Structures are given as structure tokens and as C-alpha cells.
Amino acid sequence: MHATTQSTILADVIRGGVEQLGRTLLIARSLVRAGKQVDLTGLDAEMGSLCAQMLDLPREQGRAARPVLMALRSELEALIDTMEMSGPQGSGRSSPRAPGHEIGQ
């Protein structure tokens, strides 16, 4: 398979993964706003996988995809903020971020 074809297929896979993860974050945020608990197990692995796949893209395609991942990061931060504001009886809750694992580190 030609390298350009492979990178196009990979870019399509990444785009699909980003779209799916974005939908997951939006649904999770809606559920949290409705007072439901959500299980975010595996979310960090999915995001890490997308980032790793981006490293396999040609430089130009990787740079072009960066804003999409940054938007996804913003969605994740919005979900975390919503979770913090929706703690028991509206009193807020501690951040679900583990020490040393904050977004962007």
C-alpha cells in the first residue's frame, strides 16, 4: 500500500476516533448535569491512543489535526468542571484528576 494511502486511512481512523470520543464526552457531560454518575474508565487510554496514532501521521497532517485534539481536550476539561460542580447536594466534589496527572502534563 502506498504511504499516502496509509496516512490517509490513518487520518480517517483518527478523525473517527476523535468524533466518537467527542460524542462520548458530550453524553457524559449531559448525564452528569442530570445528576447521573458516569464511569470514565478507559477514557485516558482512548485519548492516549489517539495521540499516539497522530504521531504516525506525516508532519503536515499531524499539525492539521492538532486543533481537533485541543478541542477534544477542552470538552474533557468541561466535563471535569461539570463533575466538580455536580457533587453531592451541589456542594461540589474534589477533582477527579489524580495528582501528577492533570490535563496537559
64-96 confidence digits (pLDDT tens): 888 888 888 899 999 999 999 887 644 444 344
Distances in Å between the alpha carbon of 49 and those of 43, 69, 74, 94?
10, 12, 17, 27
Phi first, then psi, for residue 99 (nearest 5°) are -55, 135
pTM value?
A: 0.70
Judge whether 86 lies within some domain: no
In a domain, 45, yes or no: yes
Q: What percent of the chain has a predicted confidence (pLDDT) above 90?
A: 26
Query: Can you say how many angstroms the Cα of residue 62 is from the centroid of all Cα atoms in its chain?
Result: 16
Asked if 76 and 47 touch (Cβ cutoff 8 Å), the reply is yes
Number of domains the chain is built from: 1
56 within a domain of the structure (yes/no): yes
In a domain, 101, yes or no: no
Note whether residue 83 is domain-resident: no
User: Residue 38: which domain range?
Assistant: 3-78
Only one residue has cell 462520548, namely: 24
In a domain, 51, yes or no: yes
Question: Which amino acid, 85?
Answer: M
The torsion angles phi and psi of 36, rounded to 5 degrees, stand at -90, 150
Domain membership flag for residue 21: yes
